[in-house]
Structure 1
Amino acid sequence: MGTERASVTGRKRSGAEVLLGEDWVGPESVVDEDLTRGRARRSLISLNRSPLARKIITFNLLAMLVMVAGVLYLNPFRDSLVFQRESAIVSEAELIADVFEARMPVAAPVNLAAGDGIDVADVMRGIELPEGAAIYVFDMSGNLLADSDEVGTAPQERVTGLGIDQRSTMITDMLNRGWEWISGLVRSGGPRAPQTVDTRAMVEKLVPQVRDGATVMATNRDGGGATIFSVATGLYQNGRMVGMVAMTSAAGEIDKLVRIEREQVLQMFVVAIIVSIGLSLVLASTIANPLADLARAAEIGRDRNARKMQPGRVRIPDLTARPDEIGRLSGALRGMVAALYDRIDANEQFAADVAHEIKNPLASLRSAVASLQVVKREDQRARLLEVIDQDVSRLDRLVSDISNASRLDSELVKEEEERFDLMKMVGNLTEYLGQQAAEKGVDFISDLPKEPIFITGLEGRLAQVFVNLITNAISFCEEGDAVRVWARRRENRVLVVVEDTGPGIPEEALTKVFRRFYSQRPPGQFGDHSGLGLAISKQIVEAHGGVIWAENIRPTDADPGSEPLGARFVVGLPV
């Protein structure tokens, strides 16, 4: 199921390039036809059928909305503009007051109400005001003496190079109209009539608050929500306050500037949304599409198995070139599928081996039973009954070993590993099995380290391995032979060796002894073993991350073709 990295167009890519989306696909020869057809129909628009892609885009947009809403809600630029405008209008009011004070006589008394010493209206007509602003002059009693709306002011001169910001606020105006429309729907009493603002009433509230040396200002809104700034300050002659002057700004001038600033933020937001959606689609394609391929490949395999259609292996797309979790997932799925097929193949081979092994005793039983019906002599009948008994025992032993072997994988996964002293376990086994060797006249030698060697694993299963190796060694020995069990620690591993002085292992059998049902026993032991012991031992050792091998014992300078001095089985386990 090996694949190579290629783009959709089939061009080769260098390893230095950044690969996105569909760049990690297998070649057509190893990709399922259903997946290939699905990829051909796929586009960015098809991502709307992917819940994962929708979530990626939605959450990215929500983050953008929260950020922009926070900027608009906190409104730092409005606060800054308001402060600047408030400072400016206070300065303007004080400058206008200075103009009136400059027109007052130094020594003569001044009475603003009577017009003594200064013509308020004449001075007001000479002042140039911004469009929409107004000036009001009051006497010490708070009576209005002059109003710029009635008296008039000097015409405003045009300043070259000073332009008015005429930038469009289409998005902001549209949002404002939408808000007003929604407000109109929920507002009771029908639409409200437009309200006019009374700037004179605003300043009349400020004038009583003016004290010697003090300037008072306030910020108000008219009926349409436009902001108006008003300020009042005193008029002084020789340090004595003789009246008050008040000034109001044009309605909504600051709101227009704020609207322009908001428009810039919203325009940036629109551009950011477009970029975010584009990047989200690319990101979603690099995540959702490969995951969809992996899921589809698994579904194709499931549907085939369910419907018994198009037999073949499930081909998981090879995305292992991706340096991320999807690449890891692809590798894990491919490894899992490969392990599953290996297990299926092993089970099929195991079933075939079991059938083959069972046929032999069954054939012997069938022959013995058929012969039993025709023989007349008692000694022949006794012999046939003995054969039948041996075949039944062999079948019973074979079925028990097969049952144990078939359950081994699941039991190795379910059982909990523990840390234990390997030397103590092997020492107990050698003490017990040494008695069995002595009964057969076989010398038993145990050479184990005094210090403990701790490993992590399944103590019972590893004990099964060493029992099998030691009993096998004893079974191949005759009276006067010897069995030696020794162990040594080597850095990060421990070696446990079982040696015997038996006939050794035929050279051609060294690579076969760990196969299932392979058995080459001494004369007189045929049928006593199922041939699964060493296969089970190998499976247990490898499940613990170890290795096991068999070899013949020969002197160092001996001819490789000479007769061996015995057999040696070595088990290496990680410490």
Structure 2
Amino acid sequence: MSAAGRIGLSRPRKPEPGVLLGEDWMTGAETSEGEALKPRRARRGLISLNRSPLARKIIIFNLVAMVMMVAGVLYLNPFRDSLVFQRESAIVNEAELIADVFEARLPKSAPVNFAAGDGIDLPDTLAGIELPTGTHLYVFDPRGAMLLSSSEVPASPRERVDGLQIDHRSTLITDLLNGIWDRISKVVRDEPEKDAVYDAKRIATSLLPKMADGETHIDTRRDSDGATIFSVVTGVYQGDQLVGILALTSEAGEIDQLVRVEREQVLQMFVIAIIVSIGLSLVLASTIANPLSELAAAAEIGQEKNARKMSPSRVRIPDLTARPDEIGRLSGALRGMVTALYDRIDANEQFAADVAHEIKNPLASLRSAVASLHVVKRDDHRARLLEVIDHDVKRLDRLVSDISNASRLDSELVKEEEEHFDLLKMVGNLADYLGKQAGEKGVEFIIDLPSQPIMITGLEGRLAQVFVNLITNAISFCEEGDAVRVWARRRDNRVLVVVEDTGPGIPEEALTKVFKRFYSERPEGQFGDHSGLGLAISKQIVEAHGGVIWAENIRPTDADITSEPLGARFVVGLPI
């Protein structure tokens, strides 16, 4: 019994069944599913938009975002607003500078009359002013009568300045997009007046009433074609007296051409961005839609196979676990689910075969006893046969009950709610109750539990079932004078509960079999009294709690594993 204190958790655990360990879907012989997926991959290529709604959505959503962004930039048009402000400031400065030129040529004290030409030569003054191309200047007297316009006087030639030319670079695509935008903008912007035609003289004349306060005024409007026209009216003063009025109008669409050039550059970048976006969307769609399509196709092939019973081969999910994204996780999860499902199917098939085999034994014995009962004549033989029949019936009843409990265990473990409880208190209560049974058999029962409680989270009733199985098994293998010891210790983040006995021990070849279903290593006197499912159920419950359970023999020394065992030991390790 002294060896019990050296039990630890250093024993390595075997890989859990049902966990996928590197199954390679693409290596080895091609499965029927792999062959079935080949034509789909050949037809698909990089990406098939007509076969992939997800790819179409990715591309459309990316394009819609791009179009909305560019449309917002063009609609808000901060570049045009900035140009309008700059041009308004510039034409106001031009008008005031021209008025300063006129004022500079006025006599300081002599009377001035623009209408009579007294004090200033209007044509000569106007001819010396260089006006931008398309700009018109009108001269009015203080009463608003037009005296002269720049179109009536030969203007001085305007020198060309290198670097001020507009860059008219455009493409067929940008011209098309520009035309589309112009049509759309005409729909959304305010309608011009019906007579809003470009007439510089009429525009200049319409501004004269604004000179009643003697201040400079600017007017910005659009003609029927949507071209922008800037107009300024300002006064010419001799001292504080208004002697004349100047009206300056710009060329129609002067900044619209600049805006168009800027818009074309935006559209050129838009076209490039669209091409790049489509390309990246195709690549993105291929990395998302194609793997998902393969996963779906593999699942669909499995569904068709199961529905039509086409092929007995297993469904294989593509191995995309090397991808560090959600698709890799999905592939691994699906492969694990499929593997776990097939493992469960195999386990159910094996369980059904084992059940049939285990039931056949008592049935065969029962059939033989019933057949013999009809032919025997002696009463003692008939009594013996009736005992065999009664034993076999009880064995069948016990076997069916245990099989029913084992078959429901998985679903019940999932449905039952876990709770936080004191493991030592539960083990202590079981030991007190089962110790009485041991005492009635003449077996010494020893309990060695720590004084401090050990709290764990789990299914208290199911874990109690485990320790009942282990303790009753230990008692059943003991004879009068033997001993059973139940002790527990805390090891870091685990708790160990150990059940030891001084019985005959476990045969070495049976140490790896005792937890298998229907396996029973019992003395001859206990034949048929146990179904062989108790330890298998216990192992299933412990592993459902994230724990481990194993069996070993107690030996006088670890150095000699061939020495006669002093008893058996079952160890349960549970996480805290």
- TM-score (ref. length: structure 2): 0.91
Q: Identify which range, 219-228 or 173-182, moves more after superposition.
A: 173-182
| Identity score, percent | 77
1:119–1:235 Cα change, 3 Å: same
Read off the aligned partner of 1:120 and give its amino acid letter: L
Q: Trace 1:361-510 onto structure 2 (pairs within 5 A).
A: 361-510=362-511
1:160–1:463 Cα change, 3 Å: closer
Shift of 1:175: 4.5
> Which structure is richer in relative contact order (CA contacts within 8 A, separation 6 or more)?
2
Q: Which residue of 1 aligns with 2:122?
A: 120
Is 1:134 matched up with 2:136? yes
Matches of 1:365 and 1:475 in 2, distance apart?
26
Matches of 1:177 and 1:551 in 2, distance apart?
88
Q: Trace 1:138-537 onto structure 2 (pairs within 5 A).
A: 138-160=140-162, 162-168=164-170, 170-171=172-173, 173-175=175-177, 177-178=179-180, 196-210=197-211, 214-537=215-538
Over residues 283-340 of structure 1, what are the superposed CA-to-partner deviations in whole Å (9 max), with x where a residue is unaligned? Answer: 0100110011111111111111111112201111110110111111111111111111
Matches of 2:562 and 2:169 in 1, distance apart?
100
Matches of 2:187 and 2:567 in 1, distance apart?
101
Matches of 2:449 and 2:29 in 1, distance apart?
56
Matches of 1:493 and 1:312 in 2, distance apart?
42
Secondary structure in structure 2 of the residue aligned to 1:386: helix
Matches of 2:447 and 2:261 in 1, distance apart?
94
Question: In angstroms, what is the RMSD of aligned CA positions?
Answer: 2.4
Over residues 176-209 of structure 1, what are the superposed CA-to-partner deviations in whole Å (9 max), with x where a residue is unaligned? Answer: 64467789999xxxxx999622322322232332
Q: Identify which range, 157-166 or 308-317, moves more after superposition.
A: 157-166
Matches of 1:3 and 1:39 in 2, distance apart?
24
CA contact (8 A) 1:30 1:315 kept: no
Q: Which residue of 2 aligns with 1:101?
A: 103
User: Structure 2: any 5+ residue segments left out of the alignment?
Assistant: 1-19
Matches of 1:521 and 1:100 in 2, distance apart?
128
Matches of 1:302 and 1:431 in 2, distance apart?
54
Shift of 1:158: 3.5
Matches of 1:324 and 1:67 in 2, distance apart?
29
Secondary structure in structure 2 of the residue aligned to 1:376: coil
Q: Identify which range, 115-124 or 414-423, moves more after superposition.
A: 115-124
Read off the aligned partner of 1:522 and give its amino acid letter: P
CA contact (8 A) 2:177 2:267 kept: no
Matches of 1:511 and 1:222 in 2, distance apart?
97
Matches of 2:560 and 2:251 in 1, distance apart?
115
Matches of 1:333 and 1:222 in 2, distance apart?
67
1:546–1:180 Cα change, 3 Å: closer
User: Structure 1: any 5+ residue segments left out of the alignment?
Assistant: 6-24, 187-191
Shift of 1:138: 1.2
Secondary structure in structure 1 of the residue aligned to 2:421: strand
Shift of 1:280: 0.4
1:171–1:92 Cα change, 3 Å: farther
CA contact (8 A) 1:131 1:250 kept: yes
Secondary structure in structure 2 of the residue aligned to 1:196: coil
Secondary structure in structure 2 of the residue aligned to 1:127: coil
Read off the aligned partner of 1:114 and give its amino acid letter: A
1:304–1:107 Cα change, 3 Å: same
CA contact (8 A) 2:47 2:290 kept: no
Secondary structure in structure 1 of the residue aligned to 2:470: helix
Shift of 1:519: 0.5
Secondary structure in structure 2 of the residue aligned to 1:47: coil
Q: Which residue of 2 aligns with 1:26?
A: 26
CA contact (8 A) 1:211 1:234 kept: no
CA contact (8 A) 1:4 1:26 kept: no
Secondary structure in structure 2 of the residue aligned to 1:494: strand
Shift of 1:256: 1.0
Shift of 1:435: 1.1
1:332–1:179 Cα change, 3 Å: closer
Secondary structure in structure 2 of the residue aligned to 1:424: helix
Matches of 1:391 and 1:2 in 2, distance apart?
44
Over residues 423-469 of structure 1, what are the superposed CA-to-partner deviations in whole Å (9 max), with x where a residue is unaligned? Answer: 11111101111111111111111111111101111111110000000
Over residues 236-261 of structure 1, what are the superposed CA-to-partner deviations in whole Å (9 max), with x where a residue is unaligned? Answer: 22343211111000000111111111
Read off the aligned partner of 1:95 and give its amino acid letter: L
CA contact (8 A) 2:494 2:574 kept: yes
Shift of 1:521: 1.1
1:503–1:389 Cα change, 3 Å: same
Q: Which residue of 2 aligns with 1:67?
A: 69
Q: Which residue of 2 aligns with 1:16?
A: none
Shift of 1:560: 2.3
Shift of 1:173: 4.8
Q: Identify which range, 524-533 or 79-88, moves more after superposition.
A: 79-88
